[in-house]
Amino acid sequence: MELRQLRYFVTVVEEGGFTRAAARLHLSQPGLSAQIRQLEKELGQPLLERSNRAVTPTEVGRSVLPYARAALAAADAVRHTVDEHAGLLRGRVTLGLVPGATSHAFDVASFLADFHDTHPALEIALTEDTSERMQAGLLAGEIDIALFGPTGEEPPPGLSCRTVLDAPLGAAVAPGDPLLTSVDPAGIPLVALRDRPLICLPRGTGVRAVLERSCARAGFRPRVAFEAAAPHVLAQLAARGLGVAVVPLDGEGPGRAGPLCTLPIIQPRIRARIVLAWPAIGPASPAARALLDRMREALPTAPML
């Protein structure tokens, strides 16, 4: 019995037939069939039921399947361990982030390029989504590491987090907006936004969760007229006078952000965070551990803005 024969058997079961399995394995269909027959002959039992419609495991095949998968996983773990000690990382690691998550933190493109130069045999996948789906992906094992804004006040159960950015939330408005003349120039109370059309990140993001939670405590629901996943789109909408953009600020006091004027929300002061997160039990693979270690070096502290 050979590992490759077990891999062939598992692939045929997963694909439900020899044709798709042969294509996935880059083998000829007759060659694949011959290898499976050889495995069955060695074991003395048929592992697959062959019909015109589909190929399914026999009762013996169903019993063998988890052991075959375990043997393949153990062999892969041996390879990963040897590669790790040899300094040759292989495999795939998935990094998730919310749009705009790294605009204040670090240059993610340059970081990933440098990491790939160090580990060229490692496949890196990058995915963008909302904070809620990032958290779910981490807990489900679909994502190895993520940068996102937490939607709750406490760290999500089952995850370890390091705060990368902690910034005040504020209002960004076009010059001449009534907010600039009707309130304290040092900032605005949250209730000043009660009747204003707001421009904000979508539901499922940390900033939106903080805004809605703070408004609920202040006794009103925010009037979100426009929402967009990209922060620069929020700024463009606000610059055309379509509403007040609620965004993380680069400082505690009033200021300018391109054509916009920014005012911190000071009654109460509300903040948004970006965290680096990974499963509490630790990354699942040596590749993910290496990427996490490098990211923790690149993002060692949480600047308070």
Average model confidence (pLDDT) across the chain: 85
Measured CA to CA, the distance from residue 153 to residue 45 in angstroms comes to 57
User: Using CA atoms in the order 262, 268, 269, 272, what is the torsion angle rounded to 10 degrees?
Assistant: -90
- pLDDT band for 89, please (50, 70, 90 cuts): low
Distance CA 248, CA 244 (A): 13
Domains of the chain: 3-86 (1.10.10.10), 95-305 (3.40.190.290)
Residue by residue, DSSP assigns 81-112 as HHHHHHT---EEEEEEE-TTTTTTT--HHHHH
- In contact, 206 and 132? CB cutoff 8 Å: no
- Mean pLDDT, residues 156-179: 87
Beta pairing, strands 244-248 & 198-200: parallel
Percent pLDDT > 70 in the chain is 90
Select the more confidently predicted residue: 14 or 122: 14
Using alpha carbons, select from 246, 233, 245 the residue that is nearest to residue 272. 246
Task: Decide: 75 and 121 in contact? Cβ < 8 Å.
Answer: no
What pLDDT, on the 0 to 100 scale, is given for residue 157?
84
Q: Band of the pLDDT at 253, cuts 50, 70, 90?
A: low
More confident residue, 219 or 112: 219
| CB-based contacts of 56, cutoff 8 Å, min separation 6 | 13, 16, 48, 49
| pLDDT at residue 57 tops 50 | yes
Regarding predicted confidence, which is higher, 45 or 102? 45
Mean pLDDT of 200-214: 90
Of 226, 224, 227, give the one whose Cα is nearest residue 202: 227
Q: Given this model, what pLDDT does residue 223 score? A: 93
Rounded Cα gap, residues 103 and 260, in angstroms = 18
What count of other Cβ atoms lies within 10 Å of the Cβ of residue 183?
Answer: 16
Burial of 101 (0-12, 13-18, 19+ CB in 10 A): buried
Q: Give mean pLDDT, residues 154-182.
A: 85
Say yes or no to pLDDT of 110 above 80: yes
- The position carrying tokens 């795939």 is 92
pTM greater than 0.85? no
Q: Encode pLDDT of 119-141 as tens digits.
A: 888 888 888 888 888 888 898 88
